[in-house]
Amino acid sequence: MAKINTKITDGVHKFTLPIPYDTGSANCYLIEGDKGYTIIDTGANTEEAKWLWKMELEGKLPVEKVIITHIHPDHMGLASWFQERYGTPVWISTQGYEELLKMRSLFKDGQYEDPIRALSPYHGGPVLPKRKDLYFLYHDFLFEPDRLFSNHEKIPIGNDFYEAIWTPGHSPDHYCFYQHDKHILFVGDHILNDMNPIILTKQQGENPLKQYFATLDPLERLAADYVLPGHGQLIDDLRGRIGKMRAHYRKRLDQTFQSVDRKGKTAYEVAKSVYGSIQSHDRAMSAFIQVITNLEYLESLGCIKKEEELGKAFFILAIEEE
């Protein structure tokens, strides 16, 4: 594994922890201040991560507080452990707290009630089983935050104030943090260097791609010398990277659009024509959900129409022939 603690600039360290998910590792950040470290994101709730944090913090500054970019388990999994072991206050956003409460309500009777289950038949997909395998994540969502912050609030991180910038898309509660004088920007999973952030609809009525594109514009204009993501390598050229990501999502939107016809198809039918047959169930499902996300976005632009018939949604080309 690559080096675990990397100095980024004076008083700012990247702390990379292994996580039991596809991305392989998560970046947490330690920012020094007179009152101790502010930690941005904790990594996932694993024994290995706890051990690595203990080793890292042993004999060093106290931990002043933990701030969470978004409440996905690979970023906030150890929030309650920090509260219990070190008495560390945990700060999350107002949107993060809403998500936390919503997530808690989805774990019932030893199972996770994935909202995607309701979405799948509506879009012509299969009836999905309830998830018992994700129940272990329930206790990650049980902590109570000590402080909430909201959009554009200036919050202390180390000895500086950072602007908390609400950037929904990857998750409804995602935040970036920006230091206006030092040009340091923490971007969580909003902008990644080595992969394209996952932007997926989770339930009816969401249009995360629309939110995502809207939040890229103001970020692109920021002067940023250090752009620090939640996974992978630092981003050297913020504007260049945003341009590449936009091109990636546009290409996928275009593929989806090309598969819509004048007769109307369900999202599941569109996914099959875009991706062909996909062997693994998980991959097929994420391709399907990706297509739902793309179709909802294209519909919001007016390129396609959505019509409902017998509780199912059909997408139809909206552009009239000459």
Where do contacts with Zn ion occur on this chain (CB under 5 A)?
Answer: 74, 189, 230
- The answer to whether 195 and 232 have CB atoms below 8 angstroms apart is yes
Nearer residue to Zn ion within complex by CB, 36 or 197: 197
Closest distance to Zn ion from the beta carbon of 114 (Å) = 18
Q: Pull the structure tokens for residue 260.
A: 């819509």
Closest distance to Zn ion from the beta carbon of 222 (Å) = 21
The answer for residues whose C-beta is within 8 angstroms of residue 104's C-beta and 6 or more apart is: 138, 141, 142
Nearer residue to Zn ion within complex by CB, 208 or 230: 230
- The answer to whether 106 and 118 have CB atoms below 8 angstroms apart is no
Closest distance to Zn ion from the beta carbon of 37 (Å) = 21
Q: Report the sign of the C-alpha dihedral through residues 75, 91, 156, 4, in that order.
A: negative
Closest distance to Zn ion from the beta carbon of 107 (Å) = 20
CA 163 to chain centre: 19
Which residue is at the shortest CB distance from Zn ion? 189
- The answer to whether 253 and 304 have CB atoms below 8 angstroms apart is no
- The answer to whether 314 and 306 have CB atoms below 8 angstroms apart is yes
Phi and psi torsions of 245, nearest 5°: -65, -40
User: Please, where are the H alpha helices in the chain?
Assistant: 47-57, 73-76, 79-86, 94-106, 116-122, 208-220, 238-258, 267-275, 281-301
Residue identified by tokens 């909202």 is: 115
Nearer residue to Zn ion within complex by CB, 189 or 269: 189
**DSSP letters along 25-88, please?**
EEEEEEEEETTEEEEE--B-S-HHHHHHHHHHHTTSPPEEEEE-SS--HHHHTTHHHHHHHH--
Closest distance to Zn ion from the beta carbon of 230 (Å) = 5
The answer for residues whose C-beta is within 8 angstroms of residue 249's C-beta and 6 or more apart is: 196, 199, 209, 212, 213
d(C-alpha 236, C-alpha 247), whole Å: 18
Nearer residue to Zn ion within complex by CB, 199 or 267: 199
Nearer residue to Zn ion within complex by CB, 171 or 259: 171
Closest distance to Zn ion from the beta carbon of 251 (Å) = 23
Nearer residue to Zn ion within complex by CB, 136 or 300: 136
Nearer residue to Zn ion within complex by CB, 36 or 96: 96
Nearer residue to Zn ion within complex by CB, 99 or 189: 189
Closest distance to Zn ion from the beta carbon of 102 (Å) = 18
Closest distance to Zn ion from the beta carbon of 235 (Å) = 15
